[in-house]
Amino acid sequence: MKEHKVFHNIGSGCTVMERKVPLYPSLISLGNNVHLASKVYLVPHDAIHLCLNSLAGAGREGGNTFKERIGCIEIGDNVFIGSNTTVLYDVKIGSNVIVGAGSLVNRDIPDNSVAVGSPAKVIGTFNDFMEKRRNVQSYPDELKPVGHFITKKLEDWCWEDFHKRHGF
């Protein structure tokens, strides 16, 4: 995407899991170290004008009464946006931000924030999240994934751990 200049800007170290190009991609800017999980939708426009202009009498005199709303989406540096999140037009997501899965971002999110929900609301700080996450051991180091693949040993360990934590 960077090579083909799909977006207005894509910084270094970015990953975009799904590569569906949205309408008006030149209105989207990604900073450095931005990671968009699966099914993150960046929507720099709406289509409500289509419905409104179809109403009886709207736009009859040779023009469209209602105009399409478009706007930029700017995402700062060091941002993770979780799966199934939608970011609407005219939104700025600051730097050092985590947006939880399934969120609807319809207003700005300030720097150094963790935001979740629909609509997304700030629930904590980036630094607090980092400290909590730093001390989490999710699997033994010797079983760590290689690239995007896990071994049968790690798979078995995960299921055993899951069953322990869920009272099986």
Which residues face 33 on adjacent strands?
none
Which is catalytic among the residues 4, 8, 35, 45?
45
Catalytic site includes residue 35 = no
In sequence order, the 6+-apart residues with CB closer than 8 A to the CB of 72 are 8, 27, 28, 29, 44, 89, 90
Q: Taking the CA atoms of 152, 158, 164 and 168 in sequence, report the sign of the dihedral they define.
A: negative
CA–CA separation, 48 vs 64, rounded Å? 12
User: Which residues are catalytic, by number?
Assistant: 45
